[in-house]
Amino acid sequence: MRRSAGVIIPTALTLFSMFFGAGNLIFPPMLGQAAGEHFLPAMLGFLLGGIGLPVLTIITMAMTGSDVRSLGARAGKVFNIAFCVVAYLSVGAMYAIPRTGAVSYSAVVDPVLEPVGESSAMVAHAGFNALFFSLALLLALYPGKIVANLGKVLTPILLGLLLLLLGLVLSNKSHVQPQSPQPPYDHAPLSAGFLQGYLTMDSIAALAFGILVIAALRSQGKPAEASEGAGSSIVSRAVIVSLIAGALLATVYVGLGLIGLHTTEHFDDGAVMLAQAAHEVLGPYGQLAFGLTVLLACMTTAVGLLAATSEFFHRLIPGVSYRAWLCTFSFISFAIASLGLSAVLQIAAPIIAFIYPIVITLVVATLVGRIFKASARLNADPTLWAFRLSAWTAAFFSAWALLEQLGVIDIGLGAWPLASQELAWVLPAIGAYAVGLAADLIQLSKKGGRVHAV
């Protein structure tokens, strides 16, 4: 038991720190300020979308195998390879990793840097990113030590700073009364909060982090588990790790949301709101503590993503070493981050929006299929076409939305239900799953199989 806890707790802390990037620091206080008196349902929705979906993704990956290739395998080889590559690039060197460097610079250097010329600012930006990604590369150089580096060293420091800032700021603002809710939290706070959590895109990051979590748990498991797919003990430990990390995230998110709830001055940027709140209670030291918190949050996320992305591409193309991939992605991330945060968002935002519905569909279809298989007491997978049709449908609608966003086509996606919430794919994917399930059950009956409902 003690040995198991010695693995589970550091792994859970590592997972928390990899999930908790700069975006996760900024979204909750903005939600708290906008939701006002509707804070509780809005925050509940945010926790469901921003924590529930990523936790389910980690658990699903533990059930299906060692990495994201196992998750989408039933959708077809071509679909699976394309999906995996796009997913890892979107949470890797094309977006999420460069964003960690760009946000760190904005939070740590910009507030203390005197106004300088454009050329000097570019040099400062490039120099900072060179140091940032060099350190991230060094920490990710040995993937087997990620849990030790993050879970046992950096994450406790990050959590300590976060809890210190939260406690001091909330004690200073507890007397401030919540304001009236702003749209869309005034009429649909639960769904608005869910969509805000959904748009954190952490379910995509969970695809990358799952490979590290499962590897860490398998390395401390039974000898058979070290070489085989994830066994029941791996799955059970992955559930515990995910729930602990989710509980820590929920605690921090609620605290950050309460800061926004008890802030009277209007802010358009959550980072500015938190920086000022820290300055109010600790003066210049508060600004320093906030900057360090952002830097640590970004660093832990960068290390986790660099390691996971490099590990995935090494498995996909074994002829190229893990270290070669790591150096390549570190350099690409440095180059993109040096362009600035706005450029990073412009480059990859459409790709992120494209991949996210597919990720959620694969996760939900996998979980529903597992539940159906167990309840029907079947040995074979009874939901093959349900899985395929729902995955292909989600991909089709995602591609449709992407092409409309880029201005390539304009054929009326906005007329579909939930399109205004960027969820036009949901009902078609559910319908495709139902049609596929009917086909699966017909095929099963022709083969002589029978479904025994529990």
pLDDT tens for 207-217 read 878 877 888 88
d(CA 265, CA 268): 10
> Picking from 21-30, 46-55, 390-399, which range would have the lowest pLDDT averaged per residue?
21-30
From 292, 307, 339, the end of a domain falls on 339
| Mean pLDDT of all residues belonging to the chain | 83
**Residues 106, 243: one domain?**
yes
Query: Which comes out higher in pLDDT, residue 227 or 299?
Result: 299
d(CA 136, CA 140): 6
> Picking from 24-33, 41-50, 213-222, 367-376, which range would have the lowest pLDDT averaged per residue?
213-222
**Residues 57, 83: one domain?**
yes
In the numeric block, which tokens belong to residue 250?
A: 């929920």
d(CA 145, CA 383): 39
Q: How many CB atoms lie within 10 A of CB 290?
A: 26
**Residues 376, 283: one domain?**
no
Q: Which domain holds residue 386?
A: 350-454
In the numeric block, which tokens belong to residue 61?
A: 């990956």
pLDDT in tens, 20-34: 876 788 889 999 999
| pLDDT (0 to 100) of residue 207 | 82
**Residues 364, 227: one domain?**
no
Residue 378 has pLDDT above 80, yes or no: no
Indicate whether 137 belongs to any domain: yes
**Residues 258, 381: one domain?**
no
- Residue listed under structure tokens 């079947």: 378
pTM more than 0.85: no
Mean pLDDT of 42-52: 93
**Residues 242, 358: one domain?**
no
**Residues 171, 42: one domain?**
yes
DSSP 245-301: HHHHHHHHHHHHHHHHHT--S--S-HHHHHHHHHHHHHTHHHHHHHHHHHHHHHHHH
Residue 84 has pLDDT above 80, yes or no: yes
Residue 282 has pLDDT above 60, yes or no: yes
pLDDT in tens, 209-260: 887 788 888 776 554 444 444 456 888 889 999 999 999 999 999 999 998 8
**Residues 318, 264: one domain?**
yes
